[in-house]
Homo-oligomer: A and B are copies of this chain.
Amino acid sequence: MSVSETAEKINSMEVRGALRIAVEAARALEEELVNGASYDELVRAGDVLRDARPTAVSLPNSINYVLHLAESHKDNDPVVAKPMLLADISDFISKLEGSLDKIAEYGANLIEEGDVLLTICNSHTVTEIMKRAWADGKRFKVYACETRPRLQGHITVKDLQATGVDVTLIVDSAAYHTMIHKDVKKVFVGADTVYSNGDVINKIGTSQVALTAKHSGAEFIVCTSSIKFSPFSVHGEVVEIEERDASEVAELPGVKVFNPAFDITPKEHVNMIVTEDGVIPPEAAYQVLKDRFGWSLG
């Protein structure tokens, strides 16, 4: 898919999901390179792609990584350098594509026979983990928050139910009561962005679930590829929380609505983050960022 086509599909949300976006952006640059693009053209292609979705951190992360690879080869003999670069990009894409599988494996290991789990929103990573554990023969219960205003919890419930996972829907405000009275042991959630200090940005309601998990003795487990860790946060850049349209919440003429799309869960309420690099404490976010994007943090 060409750069412009990819940018368009990312913009129109035809290509969605942080991991998919990262993969498609890298592929578009790869194709550009195959088609003979120079380093400078690649940089410009990166700019086009980057503008397609200004808020998702996986997009600039992927583009910057490919450009970083390109830059490190740029002064070498193109005959030798180009195949090496293409191989590097291909490796990067493979690793991205394989990350979901790794996280599913590690996350499924964390689920124990007889567990009671809870989740909020619809994280593909989280449902993969649960389905993997179920396929491994473990039996457990899942409570899924409906996740107002857009009710993504319905997708979660249908997806899990289709594979036979024992899942029950609750309203968001019943999360704490359910944790206490149904003996929830672990909460699994996805992430939108992970800050360098370990704080986690995710769907509105997540920080509330994390606080209540801590107070009811449940573990709070974030599941996400490291492509969503923000190198920008290393420089202190903060994500502006998107406020969405009132109509998502209610069609009440003249009624004011405050509709934030995300919130921030502080690191001290997160027991662990499951990444393709393994199970880490949130505080290892900085190390992961240095290992992966250290070249860009100068």
Contacts and interface: CB of A to CB of B under 8 A. Distances in A.
A248 B123 CA distance: 25
A127 interface: no
A4 B240 CA distance: 52
A171 B281 contact: no
A41 interface: no
Interface in A177-226: 177-178, 180-183, 195-199, 204-205, 207-209, 211-212, 215-217
Number of copies of this protein chain within its complex: 6
B279 A236 contact: yes
A252 B158 contact: yes
B176 A211 contact: yes
Interface stretch (A12-20, A84-92, A266-274): A266-274
Interface stretch (A32-40, A65-73, A74-82, A103-111): A103-111
A83 interface: no
Given A109-B235, A236-B106, A280 B196 contact: yes
A254 interface: yes
Interface in A258-276: 258-260, 263, 266-268, 271-272, 274
Contacts of A120: 173
A52 interface: no
Contacts of A107: 236
8 contacts: A120-B173, A146-B148, A173-B208, A180-B217, A211-B215, A234-B279, A277-B297, A279-B286
Given A171-B204, A233-B279, 9 more contacts: A146-B250, A151-B250, A167-B255, A168-B258, A183-B183, A195-B279, A196-B279, A196-B281, A216-B217
